[in-house]
Amino acid sequence: MDDIEIPRYFLCPISLQIMKDPVTTVTGITYDRESIEQWLVTSSPSENAVCPVTKQPLSRTADLTPNHMLRRLIQAWCTTNAVDRIPTPKSPLHRSILLKLIRDLGRSDREGFLHVNALKKLDELAGETKNHQVMAEAGVPKAVALFVLRCVKEGRISGLEEGLRVLQRTWAPTSENKRLLEDNLDFVKSMSWVLSSDLENAVKTHAAVVLKNVLEVASLGLKERLELDFFRQMVKLLHGNTISQQGVRAVLHVLIKTCPSGRNRTKIVEAGAVLEVIEMELCNPEKKTTELIFCLLALLCSCADGRQQLLKHAGGIAVVGKRLLRVSAAADDRALCIIESIARFSATREVVMEMLRVGAVSKLCMVLQADCAAYLKKKAREILRLHSNSWSNSPCIQVYLLTRYTR
């Protein structure tokens, strides 16, 4: 096939491969279904998804219209050029099939066979990204969430892994799901029970991701009812290899989402989160995890207890300074917030000298010279001015960076 010229419009703009199931977005661009769905799923949750070609906004649940004409042209071209013919895509999933499976989940089933079979079928359907939207619209997440809640209350684990996996894959923050879970402390406790159990790591990872999704839509009242033991359990999950890296990131999200409440920040600090995440960061090679750790530390360092715990760790200031300018703009922003909190509110003479000794001050000077956002430079300059009298006499930094701007 290397010597056959493939028509340009047969290729997916994302994968650059011949499209097997061409679909057109609302922006008018045609992609292979698998590629564009994966693009929408993996887009950063903190940013709006965009069309890869036009850069126009694109909803994560955007309608993808099958391009039957283009698919038939591709199939005809494959036949003419003796290229393996792309198969005709499966028919769309019918809502009636899902409604029957949902009814099966809700029926009384002492032996559990009916529930297990329904969950296996739902799990199989959820394995295809193109089914997620129709499953969410049919009410699958709500039905599975209620099933999981019953399982935990009755102490049953049969079907729990499949249920959590389906819930993770098909979850959408719809009004129906919000009504069910935004103030449902029992469901949060059920996920906590799974995470504290002896179940396999895969099951715990699903539970951690589901818990993260639920807390993203949870009410402030629910978050404020979380007890210290809940946070101790979350921090414990960060230690060792009890869950996967995906699960660790989900737990960090859980702690971040519950931080807006001042009482929760105190509980998270008391649970040992500051010391634990610093230890994690000392041996963490992953960018996404570092960004989450720094986001959590910045929130916790907004309270005196959090700053005290960071300073208590011998490598606290050092690791923050070391990661500055080495990870991402998001990590730089959070690192500067941490350093600023320390410099403004916990700057004893010993702390000011330690910031100089471990290289944090030198890194602040490097920010002023680096090719980074203007607001980061401004923040670094403000921090340097706070203790310029103590730092300007040191040969470790360039004095002109402190005296270049009027105070």
Q: Tens digit of pLDDT for each residue in 276-296?
A: 999 999 987 789 999 999 999
Q: How far is CA 320 from CA 184, 281, 287, 323, 358, in A?
A: 37, 9, 14, 5, 10
CA distance 48 to 372: 23
End-to-end CA distance of the chain: 68
Distance of CA 35 to the CA centre of its chain: 20
Q: What is the mean pLDDT of the chain?
A: 88
pTM: predicted TM-score of the whole model, two decimal places: 0.80
CA distance 220 to 59: 27
CA distance 239 to 276: 7
- Which pLDDT score, from 0 to 100, does residue 174 have? 86
- Which pLDDT score, from 0 to 100, does residue 12 have? 94
Q: Which single residue is written with the structure tokens 């209620």?
A: 146
Give me the residues of the chain with pLDDT under 70, please: 1-3, 43-48, 60-62, 90-91, 109-112, 394-407
Distance of CA 206 to the CA centre of its chain: 13
Per-residue pLDDT tens digits for 356-389: 999 999 999 899 888 989 999 999 999 999 998 8
Q: Which two tokens stand for residue 10?
A: 């047969």
Sheet holding 22-24, edge to edge: 30-32, 22-24, 65-66
DSSP for 137-158 reads HTTHHHHHHHHHHHHHHHT--T
CA distance 348 to 351: 5
CA distance 40 to 11: 19
